[in-house]
Structure formats: structure tokens, C-alpha cells
Amino acid sequence: MITENKITEIFCLADDFCKYFSSEIKKHQICDGKVHRNKPGRLSDAEVITILILFHSKGFRCLKHFYTQYVCKHLTHLFPKTVSYNRFVELQKSVLLSLTVFIKEVLLGTCTGIAYVDSTPLRVCKHQRILIHKTFKGIAQRGKCSMGWFFCFKQHLIINDKGEILNFMFTPGNVDDR
């Protein structure tokens, strides 16, 4: 069970990381000469990241149920400025890169001597639409797994015997699992 102190610790780590990450992104951004609005939202990036980490660690299956029934009702003292579920789903997209880097740099587990490796396909489109698919043209590839042929990417995952993620990687579908 995750206590309030652990939630606060995760938020503090995420907040420190988001501040550093956003400053680094701003240093390396290309300016287009236009003035952009940078009004902060009600939920900060660190809060969104913390809620997503809680969702995956609590064992809930449905994000909507978790957010509306658990976060908005029982964690209002930790997240006082919650937004609607639809707005939260929109905010997830904006923190995808920072969440991925945060997990890769801060939250990976330690090797205990026993590790399990597996990969799963992340399908891009149906088999009949491969030739007309334009979004991931040249990036996604055809591959084969135990379930048959697919056109997609593969997610490779290494976990230890405690269930902690040691490392992960996304590759085109034609990359061998080994």
C-alpha cells in the first residue's frame, strides 16, 4: 500500500525533475519568432506524473474509475486543484516525454540477480492497411510474434524478481527479441 508520505515523496521527485527538465527543454528549443502563451494549468506536470504513477502502482484497471472515484474523492487534500477526467486525459499527452525520461532516469529498480525479459507488439494499424498507412511510414516495420504477423513497434521490458522495471526500450517491429 502506498502511504501519503510515499505519494508526497514521488511528487517531490517528479516536481524537481519537471523543473529541471523544462528548463533544459527551453534551452534547446528553436524559437519560431511568435509569442506563445505559457499560462500554467491547474494541475502541474508533476501532479499529472504522480497520478499516473499512482494509477499503475495501485493495481487499478480503469484510469477513469481510478481518477474519478479515487483521486477526486479520496486524494483531494493532496491534489486540491483536480480537473475533469476529459481534461486529465488531454494533459497526459503533454507529459508523455517528461514521464518517459523521469521513469528512465529516476524510477528504475535495481538488479537483484534474477531478471525477466519480454517484448510485446504495439500495433500501428490493421494488416490490410499497411500499404496505405502514412503516420509511421518508414519507422514502424512488419514483424512476427507468437500471435502472428503485425505492423508495429515492439516494447522490450526487463523486470527483476520483485516486479521493478530495470529497463525498457521501443524498437521497430522487425527487431529480434534477443
Domain coordinates in residue numbering, the chain: 4-29+40-105, 115-172
Closest CA to 104 of 158, 146, 46: 158
> For residue 121, what is its C-alpha cell?
507488439
Strands (E), 71-140: 115-123
Closest CA to 163 of 119, 128, 115, 93: 115
Output the pLDDT for position 12. Answer: 93
Residue given cell 521527485 in the structure block: 13
Closest CA to 145 of 123, 165, 117, 114: 123
Q: Which of 54-63, 122-131, 142-151 has the highest mean pLDDT?
A: 54-63
Residue 13 pLDDT grade (very low, low, confident, very high; cuts 50, 70, 90) = very high
- Biggest CA–CA distance in the chain, Å, is 53
Output the pLDDT for position 171. Answer: 82
Is residue 3 pLDDT above 90, yes or no?
A: no
- Cα 36 to Cα 32, 39, 54, 88, distances in angstroms: 10, 9, 32, 22
Residue given cell 499516473 in the structure block: 52
- Cα 103 to Cα 64, 99, 100, 126, 143, distances in angstroms: 22, 6, 5, 30, 27
H or E element: which one contains 168? strand 165-172
State the pTM of this model.
0.72
Residue 106 pLDDT grade (very low, low, confident, very high; cuts 50, 70, 90) = confident
114 within 8 A of 82, measured Cβ to Cβ:
no
Phi, psi of 149 (to 5 degrees): -80, 150
Residue 46 pLDDT grade (very low, low, confident, very high; cuts 50, 70, 90) = very high
